Chain A
């Protein structure tokens, strides 16, 4: 593809849709993982729950969860012949969000657990002397741990925005509906349009960095307010 063709494509509405969908899906998945993973990681750090150690070890083991396996398992669940088939979620953006949040959850939860454990070891005694219950100590700990929690969420987002194996399977790479930047890069590479695939890759890196920087900025503003 020549330069004019490349520029025409990168400025077309279809391309904008791909970028918007990528960011939407991956950001939603990372935030969903944060909503579940941060409380989970903190609770595991503070409470002496039965079976806590196996759960923590399990979370760390799942850091290397293979996206294609998550994609395939979810595919079989969401398929019309699967147990959750009635919801009709297969080949939709919602299925992609679910897949990616499963992949991001162990990352967010494990990093939160590590951050909060350190703080709990340091301040836990003092907080309890002050009469705070474990439950009431958690918001304080999370507040102190916030820079590290941001890193946890960004690591989760890094996983989701760059992921292709799971969303290719549960999303189907449908043009104009479930095609994201990563699945489009796979497609363009398979069609031998390398210039195009590479241009998309550079846009993906820029967008992913941009979102991370924006989240950083948002966090800084919240700290200062």
Chain B
């Protein structure tokens, strides 16, 4: 094999490798990694508000859409610069473990119980989420659980504790389907199985495959869904980009950021209610 034959191929390899390292280095722009939940990312909220922040500050926000449990784990390993999550109990543990500081609520919406239009457990119109879950368990109607330690999953398990039933105990109940996936995956599964499930309102409104699913129970105060932004403690996470992360948290709670959150609508409906000034 003569050299001239080899050269174009080596050149191609060199160009590819060079461009890859260029992508990795990404010079010039400042960026932070936000570990967040699927509900704020998949609902389109972040895609709506982040360009405004980036335009003002030049800071690019890279979003990891994970369940709350995974997002907090990612951050506690030092792989994110701040978190935006919705599980008060897990957040308290995160802060108590010395990982997080300066928790601020930025918005709220609510969880809803959705299920098949036929409603075999007859929960439609109920404002009592615990009674509704009890009716589902009694009827043995199919129920889809996230099973992924997300904020929604944590809420679901709190509600089951209030019901006094542990559907995962002693060989799973046959009507209880733990799918181990995100909110959208759970809604897909519920739609396919004609099952009940608990969803955050944001994901529900922007979800594209509702089929026979409808909102059956809402309005219980226990279904409040709060979104908090938490910075990383510089003592434990010296590598976290404190200054730009701080600017982002400040912006989210600023008049401007709050207005941007409140302005986001899907099909005419407001998905998130800004609440930095009046935390719920």
Contact = CB atoms under 8 A, between A and B. Distances in A.
A190 B184 contact: yes
Interface stretch (A88-96, A112-120, A126-134): A88-96
Tier of interface size on chain A:
35 or more
Given A24-B16, A190-B182, A191-B42, A93 B23 contact: yes
Contacts of B181: 190
B132 to A, nearest CB: 23
Interface in A183-204: 187, 189-194
B62 interface: yes
A177 B50 CA distance: 14
A21 B26 CA distance: 14
A21 B16 CA distance: 11
Contact of B33 (A85, A91, A93, A139): A91
Interface stretch (A28-36, A42-50, A53-61, A63-71): A28-36
A222 B12 contact: no
Contact of A191 (B12, B77, B208): B208
Contacts of A222: 5, 8-9
Number of chain B interface residues as a range: 35 or more
Nearest to A34: B13
A28 to B, nearest CB: 5
A8 interface: no
A192 to B, nearest CB: 3
A189 to B, nearest CB: 8
A24 B19 contact: yes
Interface in B171-195: 181-185, 187-188, 191
Given A91-B62, A190-B185, A192-B187, A79 B5 contact: no
B214 to A, nearest CB: 15
B20 interface: yes
Interface centre among A89, A174, A190 (most CB of B within 10 A): A190
A10 to B, nearest CB: 17
Given A94-B20, A192-B208, A225 B13 contact: no
A52 interface: no
Nearest to B31: A177
Interface in B6-32: 8-9, 12-13, 16-17, 19-21, 23-24, 26
Given A143-B1, A190-B42, A24 B20 contact: yes
A172 interface: yes
A174 B17 contact: no
Contacts of B219: none
Given A91-B62, A173-B65, A80 B16 contact: no
A27 B63 CA distance: 25
The 6 A-B residue pairs with the shortest CB-CB distance in the complex, in nearest-first order:
A192-B209, A80-B78, A94-B24, A190-B184, A192-B208, A93-B23
30 contacts: A1-B208, A24-B19, A24-B23, A28-B19, A31-B13, A31-B17, A32-B17, A35-B13, A81-B78, A89-B24, A91-B33, A92-B24, A92-B26, A94-B20, A94-B24, A142-B1, A172-B64, A173-B65, A174-B33, A174-B63, A189-B188, A190-B184, A190-B185, A191-B184, A192-B187, A192-B188, A192-B207, A192-B208, A194-B209, A222-B8
